[in-house]
Structure 1
């Protein structure tokens, strides 16, 4: 709380007056973070035009934010903190599920753009592949948190891109 009040330039009573208690403040922090559209891997996915390059950029960004963050953090707030408190802190599991669903929707929307453009087939399972991308991302972050070097994590990117963009079975 001392770091938070100092960085915000306010005192503890002001925080409690605004949020009520630490629990409410924590839930609001989760909600604010999850509502932020600036998730680096998603931005990479959404801004690169070529779908294979976009998926590759997504995974490269995951490695970068999991191994080179200036703060020393390995992954995002949702992975680093919220996931460990889900089921233990009332309200966090629901917010985490909402954040995951939102991420799945953003990934799916990007894949759907390429279905509409014709660069992915009409029967491409975008919802399933969006979940796959999310799950692969979480595995990469987990490995980074365990200390696997970024070069080792990067060796699997091409396999992940191939798995995500593989032609669906007829």
Structure 2
């Protein structure tokens, strides 16, 4: 019986390679990123890329998953770990600004909104991952608001899910501004207005 040959062990860090590929996709888009661009940034040759990640399409989807599981969570971690809810909302928004303007790769904004959203209707699997990332973010923020309601820090009538969506929309607004080159200080200047917007008591609509 012939034994199946084992493949050569990977001689590179998979996480670092995915991060490098993500920056290429982020800067050039899915269609604009060539295999040569990707292998050069990842520090591997094309056979190693295909062996470890599959084709370009599979690499792109894995880069999206890597981003959603790591970089994209920084604002959420800031929001979830801060004990005071006012400071938690403030920390979330500040983390969005800081990350969007301070990415070490030189690209600005958010990988999901800047790159993945533009390919969602064209690259199979991208739209589903984008929907999943949005739904997970909404749910995580809403859970924190519900916890604060149970603690009495927020009124029972506070619309947790709707304000969670508002926070995500504010995040994407900051990302768009960062992508356009707006400086961080100008965005931080009105942070308190946005914090108050998120945490404002719900309006009571009088019946006609």
TM over 0.5: yes
Of the candidates 88, 91, 109, which is equivalent to residue 57 of structure 1?
A: 91
Is 2:109 the partner of 1:75? Answer: yes
Q: How much has 1:63 moved relative to structure 2?
A: 1.0
Q: Which residue of 1 aligns with 2:46?
A: 12
Of the candidates 120, 135, 141, which is equivalent to residue 101 of structure 1?
A: 135
Question: Can you list the C-alpha shifts for 1:65-91, whole angstroms capped at 9, x where unaligned?
Answer: 111222222123212321121112122
Is 2:166 the partner of 1:132? Answer: yes
Q: Which residue of 2 aligns with 1:22?
A: 56
Of the candidates 132, 148, 152, which is equivalent to residue 186 of structure 2?
A: 152
**Within 1, Cα distance between the matches of 2:91 and 2:76?**
9
Q: What is the TM-score with the length of structure 2 in the denominator?
A: 0.74
Greater Cα shift, 129-138 or 64-73: 64-73
Is 2:77 the partner of 1:43? Answer: yes
Q: What is the TM-score with the length of structure 1 in the denominator?
A: 0.89
Of the candidates 53, 56, 65, which is equivalent to residue 31 of structure 1?
A: 65
Q: Which residue of 2 aligns with 1:143?
A: 177
Tell me which structure has the larger Cα radius of gyration: 2
Structure 2 spans left out of the alignment, 5+ residues:
1-34
Q: Which residue of 2 aligns with 1:163?
A: 197
Q: How much has 1:11 moved relative to structure 2?
A: 3.0
Q: Which residue of 1 aligns with 2:11?
A: none
Structure 1 spans left out of the alignment, 5+ residues:
none
**Within 2, Cα distance between the matches of 1:145 and 1:37?**
17
**Within 2, Cα distance between the matches of 1:49 and 1:165?**
15
Q: How much has 1:155 moved relative to structure 2?
A: 2.0
1:30 aligns to what SS in structure 2? helix
Q: How much has 1:146 moved relative to structure 2?
A: 0.7
